């Protein structure tokens, strides 16, 4: 199990480094990510490299038994780059230059930036190839985190090239973007600008392609560095840290390009149930890793400085957060950062060694955590067993949240999180998957969820239809299947791509007013819950109504439908149900699909299984304050106790129950 985090020794005098190593030993640190923001120290002047300090740091770490995840240090160019080449600076949608002085101030399409970044990468790789501490390469850092897109002239030229590649001729682009509307018809690729600020709504097709382009440009930066590393150190795996369910790039495209998926996650401190969103992030990470183990590259021991309120974690919270990631497939838990900065923009961000030093609760927890992770080493290599699949799609996200959509209240992640949350509470584990494009991809899952899958290609629509025909159960939620991959509406009634499969035809969207709610009734006329944001004028063309609206714009219309198709069932949920209603709908859908939780889960307890060939590991995490019991036998790897039949879990406690055979 990897344990440790970002180590930024350049922020400290060299006299501190031996103490760092001694403390790392005390805490059981096994991995340090070094040099993420060290470009200015490694290349203080253009072409002049200073590696002496890094040689010393790597040797010290190796002497302390700590593996190094060595950064290419290209996440933030040094000030001299902007001075020499101001054209490398990013420009925002309004044409304002984003100046150096924070981080990530570069345009991803800049050839100058890429050239300088790959030159540094080449120097680093050549120097440290064969260094015994080098275990992993860490390219850049959270690509696109701040400068998701750049609207400068360099980007404009690159965008035109990207479009010419994608469409071949300008008429194809005109068709795809529907440029006959508002006199936008282009005669040449040279007439196309990035979607800079416009008098009113910009073209949605263009906006979508610009997101795709921007994701690809950042990816090209990553690939340029990765290829240098692969050439010089072919045996060292390469990663870059993702921000799993953030909208910035299409991580399905990125995931194929890394040797190890690594992810950063920061708890939303203001959310008392933040562990639910954490679980989703971890499941997305595992999905990106194709079900294989992945690595939590960053999280925090306590306060996160960039949130509005730096809410500190309560005792025991870090270990619970930590184990949630491990339960869901991470091979360890790394943090930002090792030693809390004395100065700079993140000096109030927590770290493994806090400002208070080692005489602190936080440090004691860090030491305990190292010991806990060490005890979990048998888990390494095992994989997570999930019950249900959920389709997640960045392109649908971008299209759903374009400004010119039917309701500002319809946001992409909302339903994915809601469905995931309900299944988490029911003790079920979810695999997050990409929109399927080839048959059989989903065959292992009895139930597939498609929340707000707005853009659906004909191949995805037919794979999902085959899935249901062959016995699968599919639950689709509103604003799905509306448009094709170019964001052009499937005509003939919504949800065009799924009309036949679901046996419904929607004539008109009926979004609700701000704060308006509607009541739902089951088929006996009994109250069956509540929803908001969205309703539809839905007509049944084969499906049965399961729930209908009692009031709102379309009383009597179906809100939840069910259609048997071949050996399977297609469900359609046309409104935004509240959490209680969502949970009860999922109970019914799961029961019919034959999905049952492997254990009875007390409220507030999270249970996840990892399996290897000869063992099962059940992670039990009590997020509540009340004691709980789970009927399970085995040996608790953390506490060491043998559990005959019943695991007692105090409020806030964790256990990892090892069983000899799959349980």
Q: Which residues are catalytic?
A: 142, 298
Nearest to 300 by CA among 280, 261, 274, 328: 274
Nearest-angstrom CA–CA distance, 50 and 53: 7
| Residue number with CB closer to ligand GLA (182 or 306) | 306
* Tokens representing residue 196 in the block: 């800079």
Token pair, residue 511, equals 């979004």
Of the two residues 74 and 563, which places its CB atom closer to ligand GLA in the complex? 74
Out of 266, 363, 392, 571, the only residue in the binding site for ligand GLA (CB under 6 A) is 266
| Token code pair at residue 214 | 């921007």
Range 628-651 burial, b when 16+ CB lie within 10 A, else e: bebebebebbbbeeebeeebebee
Distance CA 486, CA 167 (A): 12
Integer CA distances (angstroms), 196 to 108, 155, 442, 623, in order: 17, 11, 40, 45
Residue 351 to residues 102, 278, 346, 371: CA-CA distances in angstroms? 20, 19, 10, 18
- Least CB distance to ligand GLA at residue 78 (A): 16
Question: Tokens standing for 322?
Answer: 């930590």
**Residues 6 or more apart in contact with residue 546 via CB below 8 angstroms:** 522, 523, 558, 560, 561, 562, 571, 588
Identify whether 298 is preceded by a cis peptide bond (ω within 30 of 0): no
Q: How far is the CB of 26 from ligand GLA (least distance, A)?
A: 24
* Of 240 and 382, CB closest to ligand GLA: 240
Strand pairing of 642-643 and 634-636? antiparallel
346 is a site residue for ligand GLA (CB under 6 A): yes
Nearest distance, CB of residue 86 and ligand GLA, angstroms: 25
Does the protein bind ligand GLA through residue 141 (CB under 6 A)? yes
Neighbouring-strand partners of residue 332: 2
201/306 with CB nearer ligand GLA: 306
Supply the DSSP string of 533-594, one letter for each residue: SEEEEEEESSPEEEEEESSSSSTTSEEEEEEEETTEEEEEE-SEE-HHHHHHHHHHHHHHHT
Could you report how far apart the first and last alpha carbons of the chain are, in Å? 23
Quick one: 261 or 390, whose CB is closer to ligand GLA? 261
Cβ neighbours around 492 below 10 Å, total: 8
Among candidates 392, 384, 374, which has minimal Cα distance to 242? 392
- Paired residues of 509 in beta bridges: 536
Query: What SS3 state is found at 107?
Result: coil
426 close to 587: Cβ distance less than 8 angstroms: yes
Q: Which string of x and - marks every residue 311-340 that binds ligand GLA (by CB under 6 A)? A: -------------------------x----
* Shortest Cβ 344–ligand GLA spacing (Å): 10
**Contact stretch for ligand GLA (CB under 6 A) within 298-306, 515-523, 550-558, 603-611:** 298-306
Is the CB of 264 or the CB of 317 nearer to ligand GLA? 264
Nearer to ligand GLA, 7 or 336 (CB): 336
For ligand GLA, the binding residue among 67, 298, 431, 636 (CB under 6 A) is 298
Residue number, 307 or 462, with CB nearest to ligand GLA: 307
Among 42, 170, 304, 418, binds ligand GLA (CB under 6 A): 304
Nearest approach, Cβ of residue 346 and ligand GLA (Å): 6
**Look-up: residue for tokens 């399927």?**
436
| Omega within 30 of 0 (cis) for the link into 495 | yes
Q: How far is the CB of 264 from ligand GLA (least distance, A)?
A: 4
Shortest distance, position 221 Cβ to ligand GLA, whole Å: 16
Task: Quote the least distance from Cβ 341 to ligand GLA, whole Å.
Answer: 10
User: Out of 349, 413, 415, 473, which residue is the one contacting ligand GLA (CB under 6 A)?
Assistant: 349
Q: How many CB atoms lie within 10 A of CB 97?
A: 14
- Min CB(104)–ligand GLA separation in Å: 10
Asked whether 386 and 429 are in contact (CB, 8 A), the reply is yes
Both tokens of 139, joined, read 């390219």
* Closer of 243 and 418 to ligand GLA (Cβ): 243
Identity of the residue, 355 or 488, whose beta carbon is nearer to ligand GLA in the bound complex: 355
How far apart (Å, rounded) are the C-alpha atoms in residues 37 and 509? 48
Q: Which of 20, 67, 142, 283 touches ligand GLA by CB under 6 A?
A: 142
Distance CA 125, CA 51 (A): 12
Q: Is 69 in the site for ligand GLA (CB under 6 A)?
A: no
| Cβ distance to ligand GLA smaller for residue 57 or 456 | 57
Q: For ligand GLA, how many residues bind (rule: CB under 6 A)?
A: 10
Question: From the list 264, 277, 395, 484, which residue makes contact with ligand GLA (rule: CB under 6 A)?
Answer: 264
Select from 256, 215, 252 the least CA-distant residue to 239: 256
| Tokens 């610009």, residue located | 210
- Judged by the rule CB under 6 A, the positions of this chain that interact with ligand GLA are 141-142, 264, 266, 298, 304, 306, 336, 346, 349
């Amino acid at each position: 199990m990897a344990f440790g985090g970002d180590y930024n020794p350049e922020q400290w005098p060299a006299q501190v480094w031996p103490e760092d190593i001694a403390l790392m030993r005390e805490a059981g640190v096994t991995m340090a990510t070094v040099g993420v923001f060290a470009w200015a120290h490694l290349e203080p002047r253009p072409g002049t490299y200073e590696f002496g300090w890094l040689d010393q740091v790597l040797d010290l770490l190796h002497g302390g038994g700590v593996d190094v995840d060595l950064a290419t240090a290209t996440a933030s160019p040094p000030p001299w780059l902007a001075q020499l080449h101001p054209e490398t600076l990013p420009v925002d949608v309004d044409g304002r230059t984003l100046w150096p002085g924070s981080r990530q101030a570069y345009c991803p399409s800049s050839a100058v930036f890429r050239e300088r970044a790959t030159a540094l990468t080449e120097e680093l790789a050549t120097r440290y190839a064969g260094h015994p501490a080098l275990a992993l390469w860490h390219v850049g850092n959270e690509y696109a985190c701040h400068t998701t897109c750049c609207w400068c002239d360099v980007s404009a030229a690159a965008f035109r090239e990207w479009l010419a590649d994608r469409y071949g001729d300008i008429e194809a682009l005109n068709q795809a973007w529907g440029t006959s509307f508002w006199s936008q018809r282009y005669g040449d690729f040279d007439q196309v600008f990035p979607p800079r600020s416009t008098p009113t709504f910009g073209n949605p097709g263009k906006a979508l392609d610009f997101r795709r382009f921007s994701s690809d440009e950042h990816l090209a930066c990553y690939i340029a560095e990765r290829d240098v590393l692969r050439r010089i150190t072919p045996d060292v795996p390469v990663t870059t840290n993702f921000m799993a369910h953030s909208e910035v790039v299409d991580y399905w495209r990125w995931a194929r390009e890394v040797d190890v998926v690594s992810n950063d996650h920061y708890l939303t401190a203001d959310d008392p149930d933040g562990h639910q969103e954490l679980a989703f992030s971890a499941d997305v990470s595992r999905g990106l890793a194709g079900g294989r183990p992945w690595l939590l590259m960053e999280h925090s021991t306590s306060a996160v400085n960039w949130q509005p309120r730096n809410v500190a974690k309560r005792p025991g919270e870090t270990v619970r957060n930590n184990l949630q990631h491990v339960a869901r497939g991470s091979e360890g838990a790394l943090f930002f950062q090792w030693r809390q900065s004395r100065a700079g923009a993140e000096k109030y961000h927590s770290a493994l060694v806090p400002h208070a030093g080692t005489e602190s609760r936080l440090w004691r927890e860090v030491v305990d955590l190292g010991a806990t992770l060490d005890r979990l080493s048998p888990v390494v290599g095992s994989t997570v067993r999930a019950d249900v699949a959920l389709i997640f799609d960045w392109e649908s996200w971008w299209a759903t949240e374009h400004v010119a959509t039917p309701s500002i209240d319809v946001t992409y992640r909302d339903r994915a999180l809601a469905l995931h949350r309900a299944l988490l509470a029911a003790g079920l584990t979810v695999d997050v998957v990409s929109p399927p494009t080839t048959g059989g991809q989903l065959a292992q899952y009895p139930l597939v969820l498609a929340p707000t899958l707005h853009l659906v290609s004909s191949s995805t629509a037919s794979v999902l239809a085959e899935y249901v025909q062959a016995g699968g159960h599919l639950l689709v939620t509103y604003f799905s299947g509306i448009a094709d991959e170019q964001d052009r509406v499937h005509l003939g009634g919504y949800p065009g791509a799924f009309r036949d499969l679901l046996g419904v035809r929607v004539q008109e969207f009926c979004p609700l007013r701000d704060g308006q709610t509607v009541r739902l009734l089951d088929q006996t006329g009994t109250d069956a819950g509540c929803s908001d944001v969205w309703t539809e004028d839905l007509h049944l063309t084969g499906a049965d109504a399961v729930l209908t609206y009692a009031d709102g714009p379309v009383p009597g219309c179906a809100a939840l439908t069910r259609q048997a198709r071949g050996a399977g069932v297609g469900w359609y949920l046309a409104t935004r149900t509240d959490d209680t209603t969502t949970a009860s709908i999922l109970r019914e859908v799961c029961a019919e699909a034959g999905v049952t939780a492997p254990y009875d889960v007390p409220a507030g307890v999270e249970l996840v299984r990892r399996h290897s060939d000869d063992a099962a590991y059940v992670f039990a995490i009590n997020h509540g304050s009340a004691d709980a019991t789970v009927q399970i036998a085995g040996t608790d790897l953390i506490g060491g106790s043998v559990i005959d039949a019943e695991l007692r879990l105090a409020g806030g406690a964790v256990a990892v129950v090892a069983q000899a055979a799959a349980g």
